[in-house]
Structure 1
């Protein structure tokens, strides 16, 4: 992300699963050669519908994973082929420990009009691995390499669809404003060579392309290659990996160059700690290009011929922004609110069935009617030391009720987070619930990366 609450989710698992040569490939039904699938773009992540053994679920499309992964909290063990299960353990990105997982083979999986009958799927056997609160919508799993290897995959971030094309019949279109970029692969994951500029120095870098990382850039500090953070940075929570929380420095690079495209003032994160050492096992890797960069292009991945084609879209020149409040918010449970129903007929208050007035009515009359309604509860789960929100008095576990006078039930999680990405100095008035009591706080957004 940008600071948008970096839901790395690290959908880029660091475990290299062996590819089963016996597995079938995806095939289109009824002789089709392509299919278009609409997706939701949540915090820069592509969420698509996928059916596993006839059950439709929501998956993130992630070029950084090698095998589909289900999260056990949705009773995935009941979805998978029960005759082919075996248990093992995964160690992933983060500061935690290994997690238990289930491997299941010979599962039927459908993506749009494409189907595969012998898919290997991994279920994380840990109820705490639930990314739904972090994105605000149900997320059941992640999928990557199995899709990209069997199709030419076209991603239209602006119109929010992917197109799956049969590589045997695919013909590359002529495009004057496109760039064709060579792909290389390590552990079945795609890499490109790009260039960054730090303090006036142009540095070539080998970067993983990760559609499942919502940030812009990650770089691994390496003084020998002059890849180091400037003094213009702040320490921050970066997101979650498979095994826990991730921390590092947030900063900017002067620019990032991919082919002939130059993106100025890109946000960058420099992860720190022993938890990311496994990332560096590929010695030539310098970092990751995430979806905050990729969404600025129309992207076509062609794994079969080892290249991608990019064309800038209307997002290209949008400035990079981040959450300047210092708090990270998740959707944690629900709260009850009153919805009032009424209509006016010649000045007389009547009951109504279709009018939903969601604001509280302070002067209640005998004719008022309301229904209790459940809405998302948004909880502060991380708070940066010395941030505007912490200095104002906000605390971990606070539930946000209003921002600048508007009830947060009117917002999705991502819309709420977006309110904290405003211009430097913007005043934020916030009302919260803490231990059953109501409090109000005010603070100004503070840009730490001038």
Structure 2
């Protein structure tokens, strides 16, 4: 998943604050859980946007500057350069101060943020829905935040009025904050040895675990692994190796054979240059708990939810698919006659032709963007930029990206027939799903 990692401090900004409107003791805000990450509604200077809720980011960032520039007011702007996680150079951004952010019934009238006007930096296609920005520390520092992954809502509490309830099934785990980012102690088991690890709590990552190879600490990549694309950061793509470890534990909870990703050495050097960090816990682990995150008292309360026992599964096709815009699809309209053209709504144009009535509907288009070398999809002959139009006889036009990608996570041996468009011609490919790690 798309990870944003900023390499500098934001101490120059004033200490702004979120407050619940008068008379509101707590506020419940629904979110969408997409690829293990949380998407919440945020109003910025009167404009409704969608933000990732990311414990690993400091100041808010707005991505789709070009899309919103006509309506979004950028106040007190100053051009700067940012360096983030990835294999590219700095990106240009605008630093803006004294903005009004509204999240549910929580308001901050002095919020600073960064906006990036590089149209190539767009995380929406990877998630299958528009993503306008990302927010983290500024919200968490002002509230005790309940994150209910199973029911998909967050609840904001005034930290001075919040009272913890007794919970026999919960575990309270201490956190530490460094540069406004939360860290937690966990344990991993490798080669029959239990090793302590300091991990970033990273709700903005869709992965389960990241570990940084460190032979002095005993953290090393297992013999069974495969090379893969790990995600997209502010400064480009991140690559590394994927594997599994025997066991991971946090507090009194543990997981057998969880997935783990090892980013390449250049990324690791960047992430560990200023503090003793061994990796991160991402959304695929966090979603298995309902959490109470308390930055002011530096602790997180964990309680298992209905997602706790979900298996840790890999993409067995080797195909990374993204939303690639839209296509105009012709459908028969049995209720119309004659010849005319009319606009029904923003997504539908109805065409009544002389030869018979047709309805042209705008549908999402999904294209292959990355193919893992030697994977079933690669060996079958699929290519980057192939547009997938059918899977096992089902049209992808009526599927979400999540539904499409879920086909790649079915059990090994499942047969897939994929019809694609390549240079305007339809082609059909068949293969069986195979786990990249035996």
In the alignment, is residue 229 of structure 1 matched against residue 209 of structure 2? no
1:58 maps to 50
1:443 maps to 431
1:363 maps to none
Structure 2 SS opposite 1:31: coil
Task: Compute the TM-score of the two structures, normalised by the length of structure 1.
Answer: 0.91
Give the stretch that moved more between structures: 331-340 or 241-250. Answer: 331-340
Q: How does 1:320-335 map to 2 (within 5 A)?
A: 320-335=312-327
In the alignment, is residue 110 of structure 1 matched against residue 70 of structure 2? no
Q: How does 1:14-25 map to 2 (within 5 A)?
A: 14-18=7-11, 20=13, 22-25=14-17
**Aligned partners of 1:311, 1:393: CA distance in 2, in Å?**
45
Q: Deviations over 1:250-284 (max 9, x none)?
A: 00011110111011110000000424421012431
Q: How far 1:81 moved relative to its partner? A: 4.7
**Aligned partners of 2:82, 2:75: CA distance in 1, in Å?**
21
Listed as ranges, the gaps of 5+ residues in structure 1 are: 1-7, 344-348, 350-365
1:172 maps to 164
CA contact (8 A) 2:413 2:434 kept: yes
CA contact (8 A) 1:379 1:400 kept: yes
2:116 maps to 124
2:419 maps to 431
CA contact (8 A) 1:73 1:130 kept: no
Q: How far 1:29 moved relative to its partner? A: 1.1
Q: Choose the corresponding residue for 1:11, options 4, 12, 15.
A: 4
In the alignment, is residue 401 of structure 1 matched against residue 389 of structure 2? yes
Q: Choose the corresponding residue for 1:337, options 329, 333, 344.
A: 329
In the alignment, is residue 151 of structure 1 matched against residue 139 of structure 2? no
| C-alpha RMSD over aligned residues | 2.0
Structure 2 SS opposite 1:213: coil
Q: How far 1:339 moved relative to its partner? A: 2.2
Structure 1 residues 439 and 293, CA, compared in 2 at 3 Å: closer, same or farther?
same
Q: How far 1:55 moved relative to its partner? A: 0.5
Give the stretch that moved more between structures: 285-294 or 273-282. Answer: 273-282
Q: How does 1:401-420 map to 2 (within 5 A)?
A: 401-420=389-408
1:356 maps to none
**Aligned partners of 1:191, 1:289: CA distance in 2, in Å?**
9
Q: How far 1:368 moved relative to its partner? A: 5.8
Aligned length in residues:
425
**Aligned partners of 1:401, 1:120: CA distance in 2, in Å?**
43
1:288 maps to 280
Listed as ranges, the gaps of 5+ residues in structure 2 are: 338-353
Higher relative contact order (CA 8 A, sep 6+): 1
**Aligned partners of 2:380, 2:373: CA distance in 1, in Å?**
11
Q: Choose the corresponding residue for 1:93, options 85, 89, 108.
A: 85
Q: How far 1:24 moved relative to its partner? A: 2.8
In the alignment, is residue 422 of structure 1 matched against residue 414 of structure 2? no
Q: How far 1:77 moved relative to its partner? A: 4.5
Structure 1 SS opposite 2:99: strand
Structure 1 SS opposite 2:216: helix
Q: How far 1:167 moved relative to its partner? A: 0.4
Structure 1 SS opposite 2:245: strand
In the alignment, is residue 252 of structure 1 matched against residue 244 of structure 2? yes
